[in-house]
Amino acid sequence: MTRAQQQLSIGVLLASVYMAAFLGLVPLPEKIQNDVIPVLPLWAIVSFGCLLLCQLGWGVLTFNDVPEAHEELMKEIQEARADLQKKGVEVD
């Protein structure tokens, strides 16, 4: 089973459980049925957005933790400067 098939299977399962709860096929207390179940999709979208923002923030926070990439980039910059100076371009 591929990753896409797994995600699709999980999505169909969650959607069917939600529809069963939303349509009242699953006996739930009235307060949950009327107040919680209708807003679950919005809650899921907001939670997913928060998760993505946290992952983005963590990626930005740990961006400078790659010293090998920094060294490689500095080496490429030095090579580019040397190449430009050979061609007569003045580089600061």
Question: At residue 67, does pLDDT exceed 90?
Answer: no
The whole-chain average pLDDT of the chain stands at 91
Q: What is the DSSP letter of 7?
A: H
Whole-model pTM over 0.75 = no
- Phi and psi of 65, rounded to 5°? -90, 30
Distance between CA 37 and CA 22 in Å, rounded? 6
Tell whether the model's pLDDT for residue 76 goes beyond 90. yes
CA atoms within 13 A on the CB side of 19: 6
pLDDT, position 25: 94
Q: What is the dihedral of CA 41, 47, 50, 56, to 10 degrees?
A: -90
For the cut 90, the answer to whether the pLDDT of residue 34 exceeds it is yes
Work out the pLDDT band at 65, boundaries 50, 70, 90: low
Contact 18, 41 (CB under 8 A): yes
